[in-house]
């Protein structure tokens, strides 16, 4: 598992770097750095549960705030969000942000939940 957490750490560091080109980079860079730090802490077994749950809750609330755009996208019949963003179609950026938050939330929830071992 340590390797998976380290791969996730590097992946979220790359995501943070890619956000530097975004019009609103600060909160996205900090968000992805928080996940990268969390993955590294879990990989080395040195993590406070309050940190993991705190970051998870922040992403959960942020995702709920961003969810109306996702539901508008669903109501519109899942229009293409892979193309070029347009000022006239903010739903593209908003839906991408929601999906990014969903991924972040799932990763953080996985890190925060207690690990259960299966006994044979």
**3-state secondary structure labels for all residues of 53-105:** HHHHHHHHHHHHHHHHHHHHHHHCCCCCCCCCCECCECHHHHHHHHHHHHHHH
- The pLDDT assigned to 86 comes to 56
As beta bridge partners, residue 114 has none
As beta bridge partners, residue 86 has 89
Share the mean pLDDT of the chain: 85
Contact 12, 42 (CB under 8 A): no
- The pLDDT assigned to 119 comes to 44
pLDDT digits (tens, 9 = 90+) for 41-100: 999 988 889 999 999 999 999 999 988 888 887 887 777 777 665 555 666 778 888 888
- The pLDDT assigned to 59 comes to 95
């Amino acid at each position: 598992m340590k390797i998976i957490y380290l791969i996730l750490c590097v992946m979220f560091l790359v995501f943070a770097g890619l956000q530097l080109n975004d019009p609103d980079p600060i909160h996205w860079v900090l968000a992805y750095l928080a996940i990268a730090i969390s993955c590294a802490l879990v990989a080395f077994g040195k993590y406070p549960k309050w940190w993991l749950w705190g970051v998870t809750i922040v992403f959960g609330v942020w995702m709920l705030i961003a969810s109306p755009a996702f539901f508008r996208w669903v109501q519109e019949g899942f229009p293409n969000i892979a193309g070029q963003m347009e000022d006239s179609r903010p739903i593209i950026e908003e839906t991408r942000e929601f999906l990014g938050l969903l991924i972040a939330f799932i990763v953080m929830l996985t890190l925060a939940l207690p690990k259960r071992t299966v006994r044979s």
